[in-house]
Chain A
Amino acid sequence: MDDLLQHFIVEAHELIQQATDDLLALERNPQATAPMDSAFRAVHTLKGSVGLFDFAPMGIALHAAEDLLGALREKRAGIDTHVIDSLLACIGQAERWVAVIEQTGQLPPDAAEEGYQLARALRSQLDEDPAQAPDAALQADLGWVEELMAQAHDPAALRAQDHPLVAIRYTPRADCFFAGDDPMALLRSVPDLLAVRLSARDPWPPAAEIDPFSCNLRIEALSGAELDRVKAVFRFVPDQVTLHEVAQAAQNEASIAALNGAGAGAATGATGGAGARMLRVDASRIDRLADLVGEMVIAKNALAHLAGQFDDGLDRKHVAQGLLASQAAIERLVAELHGAVMDVRMMPLRDIFRRFPKAVRDLAGQLDRAIDFSMEGEEVEADKAVVEGLFEPLLHILRNAVGHGAEPERLRLEAGKPAKTRIVLKAYRDGDRVKVEVGDDGQGIDPAAIREAARQRGIVSVDDLDRMSDGDALDLIFAPGFSTASEVTDLSGRGVGMDAVRSAVERLGGQASVRSLPGQGTTIRLSLPLTIVMTKVMAVRLGHELYGIPLDGIIETAFVPASRVLPVRDAEAFVWRDRTLPLVRLADLLGIQALGEAPQRLKIVVMAAGDDLVGVAVDGFAERMDVLMRPMTGILANMPGVMGTTLLGDGSVLMILDIPELIV
């Protein structure tokens, strides 16, 4: 793919997003000037960029959108949901096209038709003729098709055709002769013509005023050939032709709708996947990197200078001092460089958040719920991988909030709540973690219903269920295999439940939890690391080997006299802060023969394994460190109990253990 096209794709994504944001803002406040200007600019710029490539249908549609926005901007009136819908439909289609272009380098084959239809729908709004709404236009179209069929040489035979016919309505542009077009030659090359009707686009002027070189024809025809073959004839004049498949019109509509759906899926897939997408970086961050590299060069030169002095026979002590100073400088620079590189990978949550208002709006429309959606903390930053990995889970949570949380307006009013369900998506920094919450003031989750569903689906035993607190019962929504009956509807047709949300979040190194009060609403809270690249680990010693344990699982380290360890059948336990914890020995977990005598005092790492605490006995504690953890790859990828590896300063490899997995 050439550079220009790549830049176009990056830019198009941004402009499309910008336009979507602005349109939604306009819908909320039709009088606002800033989003109107901004939407116009975005669409205008996008149209201009499209013009650089051979994407004519996209240009035609965007041009119509631009004209409509321009007209709305002029008179500041007529901005209603209907107009916003048609503009969003155009922008949404542009987004799907860009996704296809990203993958194939070109527009899909049906783009010409789609583009023209979008443009027509938009232009009909421009004319302010309500009868010209897309549906009405379609109806009118089918009307002429009927007439045409009646007019064919043998209408009965025509209707008996078992394959669909293609109805063509070709209205050449007035100046088409100057472009070298001969509409009659095109008509002649349409395969398998079944009926033709020629008429004037506008009434003929008096004989004396006729301009022979201004085309005033309208050509309607029926063909028995396949749509693609007919389409190929008109490939150079897609903006002047509408094609309909008739006889199976209804079915065709459905397949178009299905196609659109698939396109939307592909679009989210393409943007949701990390893939090889480009990273847009604030120039100042690159400048900082460049500065640091400059300083690094100076530090390197200082080393060369030192080496020279060494050659000149400088005394040992002096050289050692110089080396130490140089090492300290380089260490500082490396730390800063690392920070700067991590910074480059940081991106604001805005990049995914901004896609939610439209998603929520669409969902609310589909499910006929009135939603008041707002977002906070879009500016909070996290590592690119964390931010991008959050999109799918958050979308699912929002979908649940709309589909299950929000009650119908009537019920809300009866319960004394505002008519619109309030859904808030909120992000904030909390130490070195990012918290993301989705809260709604809907009907909440009834723990009794959850217990009942869990019992029916056999997710937990009845005994366990009885012992569970309501909070624990609520947590079952994250259990694999749990999804309430209503969830298996059109709403979450993808078969992704909250268990997928939890596992996606855990893959990113985070946790998911839920709080809910029946009648008052539900809050799903996600807690994520700022970055998943750096992992804090504590090194522990076993014999002569070091192993790493992620620090976020460790509660504390403790020294426990051997005499305080209690044998419990064939296992061991110890008492820690008035609690009895199971004790496991790391050597046993790893299947390594313990070295030497059993010590008088056990060194124990107290850590969380799932919901329980466990003590892990090791031979020694070593330092804590920040490491760049590399996941296991190749045949080692599935090795249980090992999260990844990192290189230590002396070049040896530190294995980072997944203790909970080892214990299971």
Chain B
Amino acid sequence: MSVRLDGNVIILEGLCRVEDAEPLLGWLQADRGRMVDLAGAEHLHAAVLQVLMALRPTIRGAAGDSFLRDWIAPALVGKNPVESDQRGS
């Protein structure tokens, strides 16, 4: 499983596929305060990505994968600093 829940943190690992979007969405819908850890993620399927974009959970850990780190992660954290600050605090 490339998505798992560890306490209050949703951990995305390895190659996240389209079917990972549903559990991710479910966990985030259940508790909007949950954080998402991308450190071990190597790829995010667009379905997974759009869940993160829509719900904007707090992102923990910089992705090891350079594509995710350079191009995708900024869209999840930096795009709307006010909002993410609120959530981060």
Residues of chain A whose beta carbon lies under 8 Å from any beta carbon of chain B: 172, 177, 181-185, 187-188, 193, 196-198, 200, 204-205, 207-208, 210, 212-213, 215-217, 221
Q: Are A196 and B47 in contact (CB under 8 A)?
A: no
A216-B46 Cα distance, complex, nearest whole Å: 9
A213-B49 Cα distance, complex, nearest whole Å: 11
Interface size class of B (residues with CB under 8 A): 20 to 34
Q: Which residue of A lies closest to B54 (CB)?
A: A204
Q: Is B22 an interface residue (CB 8 A)?
A: yes
Q: Are A197 and B43 in contact (CB under 8 A)?
A: no
CB neighbours (8 Å) of B22 from chain A are 212-213
- Quick one: which of A172, A185, A187, A210 contacts B54, CB cutoff 8 A? A210
Known: A172-B46, A184-B49. 5 other contacts (CB 8 A): A198-B49, A210-B29, A210-B54, A212-B21, A212-B47
Q: Are A182 and B51 in contact (CB under 8 A)?
A: no
Q: Are B18 and A208 in contact (CB under 8 A)?
A: no
Q: Which residue of B lies closest to A197 (CB)?
A: B75
Q: Are B46 and A210 in contact (CB under 8 A)?
A: no
A197-B43 Cα distance, complex, nearest whole Å: 17
- Quick one: which of A183, A197, A205 contacts B46, CB cutoff 8 A? A183
Q: Are B54 and A177 in contact (CB under 8 A)?
A: no
In whole Å, how far is A639's beta carbon from the nearest beta carbon of chain B?
Answer: 73
In whole Å, how far is B67's beta carbon from the nearest beta carbon of chain A?
Answer: 5
Q: Are A217 and B32 in contact (CB under 8 A)?
A: no
In whole Å, how far is B33's beta carbon from the nearest beta carbon of chain A?
Answer: 13
CB neighbours (8 Å) of B71 from chain A are 187, 193, 196, 221
In whole Å, how far is A219's beta carbon from the nearest beta carbon of chain B?
Answer: 8
With contacts A207-B32, A210-B55, A212-B51 taken as known, whether A184 is within 8 angstroms of B46 at the C-beta atoms is yes
Q: Are B75 and A184 in contact (CB under 8 A)?
A: no
Q: Are B50 and A215 in contact (CB under 8 A)?
A: yes
Residues of chain B whose beta carbon lies under 8 Å from any beta carbon of chain A: 18, 21-22, 24-25, 28-29, 32, 43-47, 49-51, 53-55, 67, 70-72, 75
Q: Are B43 and A185 in contact (CB under 8 A)?
A: yes
CB neighbours (8 Å) of B55 from chain A are 207, 210
A577-B23 Cα distance, complex, nearest whole Å: 108
CB neighbours (8 Å) of B75 from chain A are 196-198
Q: Are B50 and A212 in contact (CB under 8 A)?
A: yes
Q: Are A213 and B21 in contact (CB under 8 A)?
A: yes
CB neighbours (8 Å) of B47 from chain A are 177, 212-213, 215
Q: Are B18 and A184 in contact (CB under 8 A)?
A: no
Q: List 5 A-B contacts (CB under 8 A).
A: A185-B46, A198-B49, A207-B28, A210-B51, A215-B46
A207-B43 Cα distance, complex, nearest whole Å: 23
CB neighbours (8 Å) of B50 from chain A are 200, 212, 215-217
Q: Which of A177, A182, A197 has the most CB of B within 10 A?
A: A182
Q: Are A188 and B67 in contact (CB under 8 A)?
A: yes
Q: Are B46 and A212 in contact (CB under 8 A)?
A: no
In whole Å, how far is A192's beta carbon from the nearest beta carbon of chain B?
Answer: 12
In whole Å, how far is B57's beta carbon from the nearest beta carbon of chain A?
Answer: 11
A130-B32 Cα distance, complex, nearest whole Å: 43
Q: Are B25 and A212 in contact (CB under 8 A)?
A: yes
A196-B49 Cα distance, complex, nearest whole Å: 14
A185-B29 Cα distance, complex, nearest whole Å: 26
Q: Which residue of B lies closest to A200 (CB)?
A: B53
Q: Which residue of B lies closest to A210 (CB)?
A: B54
A187-B24 Cα distance, complex, nearest whole Å: 22
